[in-house]
Amino acid sequence: MRPAITMSGLTTSTFMKTIFAAHRIYTPIQELEDAFVVVDDGRIREISQRPYAEIPADAKIVDFGDAILAPGFLDIHIHGGAGVDAMRAPASEMPRLNKFLASHGVTGYFPTTVAAPIDTTCAALQRLAETIESATESAVESADAGDSPAARPLGIHLEGPFLSHKRRGVHPPENLVAPTVEIFDRLWQAARGHVRMMTIAPELPGALEVIAEAARRKVCVSIGHSDAEMPIAQQAARAGARHATHTFNAMRPLDHRDPGILGEVLTDSALSADIIADGIHLAPAVVQVFLECKGPELAVLITDAISATGMPDGRYQLGPIEVDVKDGKCTSGGSLAGSVLTMDRAVRNITQFSSWSLKDAIRAASLNAARAVATMNDQGILAPGAKADFVVLNARGEVLRTIVGGRGAGS
Both ends of the chain: CA-CA distance in Å?
Answer: 22
Cα-to-chain-centroid distance, residue 262: 22
CB proximity list for 41: less than 8 A, separation 6 or greater: 14, 15, 406
Are 79 and 114 in contact by the 8 Å Cβ rule? The answer is yes
CB proximity list for 167: less than 8 A, separation 6 or greater: 201, 225, 226, 227, 250, 251, 252
How far apart CA 220 and CA 158 sit, in angstroms, is 10
In sign, the C-alpha dihedral spanning 122, 124, 127, 129 is: negative
- Catalytic choice (85, 227, 304, 344): 304
How far apart CA 59 and CA 405 sit, in angstroms, is 17
H helices of 307-389, in order, are 343-353, 358-364, 367-373
Q: Long-range pairs for 129-136 at CB < 8 Å and ≥24 separation?
A: 129/156, 129/190, 129/191, 129/192, 129/194, 130/91, 131/91, 131/94, 132/156, 132/194, 133/192, 133/194, 134/91, 135/98
Question: Active-site residue 304, yes or no?
Answer: yes
- Residues annotated as catalytic are 304
